[in-house]
Amino acid sequence: MARLLITGGAGFIGSHTCLVLLEAGHELVVLDNYANSSPEALRRVAELAGPGAANHLHVIEGDIRQPGDLERAFTAGRAITASAQSANAAGIDAVIHFAGLKAVGESVAEPLRYWDVNVTGSRQLLAAMAANGCRTLVFSSSATLYGYPDTVPIPESAPVCPINPYGHSKAAVERMLADVAASEPGWRIASLRYFNPVGAHPSGRIGEDPNGIPNNLFPFISQVAVGRREQVQVFGGDWPTADGSGVRDYIHVMDLAEGHLAALEVLLAGEDQQLTLNLGSGQGHSVLEVIRAFEAACGQRIPYVITSRRSGDAASTVADPGHAKSLLSWQTSRTLQEMCRDGWAWQSANPDGYR
Ligand SMILES: NC(=O)c1ccc[n+]([C@@H]2O[C@H](COP(=O)([O-])OP(=O)(O)OC[C@H]3O[C@@H](n4cnc5c(N)ncnc54)[C@H](O)[C@@H]3O)[C@@H](O)[C@H]2O)c1
């Protein structure tokens, strides 16, 4: 058992990861300001994790940019009784840092907000970690760092060339983490570069619930399927791909959640280290392929229209996940059909999300 601080734990990826961590027997302190989530997600996580799980899930409403809120979270960690295996007598053993803003278009319109929440927020978190003697961190990075990749599948050694403020903010945090790790011994850090997380827990009780118009394909398709939106816009039908639509590497959010558990276990078992790992399936699926798979899952037609390409998109973005496989002994196991089935289970049972 480890005592873990999960920032942004009420969000899409955070909530699924909290469930996997509770099921693995860890004690969690979640810090979230609900800027893009609902406390209901964590209530359902506790319900899914089974009787007594709520006693192991300590929720604090607060902002990662506020030192006082971070201190409350570390104080809550100290209040949890340490087990024999717990490495850090001072409290929290490790942090998984999901909290942040993630909408590319919004980041172009409001770059300072992205630098503030994603970069200043991470800086405040690192300072609080150091002050509390906690130097083990799993960070939510993104494949958006690769910009327009030269090589597909993309290895971690590919150049970091983000093309929007969201990507710049993630690159800045990765840089900050490298500087901090080099400044003193003891840091164990994993930056996980996610590809396209989709789907939901198979129960349909928790899932992705974006505010406003979804930025990503999957929640858009599921909102069309449930009647909340009229049709899917496919940006570009003339990409150099098999059917002309863009190709992405979709990863089931439960596979991604299990990837966090694997990374955490490797960090907690090891010495000082800094890992940078792609978390993806290594398989590409086109937008039209995803629409067809979702139609099969929900049993209805998904209306779509092909429009012009969107600036900032690449033809194909697929991970080389070999490094994560060898270092974490982890790989994805869920198919596109399962992503669609579980995403539909969530959306059809919760047409308005957690509201
Ligand atoms: N979903 C994706 O496609 C994707 C891809 C690559 C990387 N990521 C990264 O993964 C992380 C989690 O993504 P997600 O899809 O779960 O997003 P999400 O918006 O569902 O979750 C983020 C959580 O952070 C919280 N939060 C935001 N600002 C905060 C602040 N200042 N203080 C405390 N809490 C705050 C939100 O309320 C939310 O619960 C993000 O850092 C995101 O950039 C996501």
How many percent of the chain have pLDDT more than 90?
A: 93
CB 265 within 8 A of CB 339: no
Q: Which residues of 334-346 are buried (b: 16+ CB within 10 A; e: fewer)?
A: bebebbbbbbbbb
Q: Which residues line ligand 1 (CB under 6 A)?
A: 7-8, 10-14, 31-37, 63-65, 98-100, 102, 117, 121, 140, 142, 194, 196-197, 216
Mean pLDDT value across the chain: 95
- Testing ligand 1's pocket by substitution, the residue of 32, 98, 139, 354 carrying the most ligand atoms inside 8 A of its CB is 98
Ligand 1 centroid – CA 244 distance (Å): 31
Instruction: Give 229: exposed, middle or buried? Use CB within 10 Å, 0-12, 13-18, 19+.
Output: middle
Return all residues near 77 (Cβ < 8 A) that are at least 6 apart: 3, 5, 29, 91, 92, 132
In the predicted structure, residue 84 carries a pLDDT above the cut 50? no
Ligand 1 centroid – CA 98 distance (Å): 5
The catalytic site residues sit at: 166
In the predicted structure, residue 298 carries a pLDDT above the cut 80? yes
Q: Comparing C-alpha atoms, which of 19, 48, 40, 33 is closest to residue 209?
A: 40
- Testing ligand 1's pocket by substitution, the residue of 15, 16, 30, 37 carrying the most ligand atoms inside 8 A of its CB is 37
Query: What is the rounded distance in angstroms from the CA atom of residue 166 to the CA atom of residue 174?
Result: 13
pLDDT of residue 343: 97
Question: DSSP letters along 96-122, please?
Answer: EE--S---HHHHHH-HHHHIIIIIIHH
pLDDT of residue 234: 97
- The residue whose CA has the least distance to atom 7 of ligand 1 is 142
Once rounded to an integer, what is the mean pLDDT over residues 78-82? 80
- The residue whose CA has the least distance to atom 34 of ligand 1 is 32
SS3 assignment, position 169: helix
Q: Which numeric CATH code is attached to 3-349?
A: 3.40.50.720
pLDDT digits (tens, 9 = 90+) for 256-269: 999 999 999 999 99
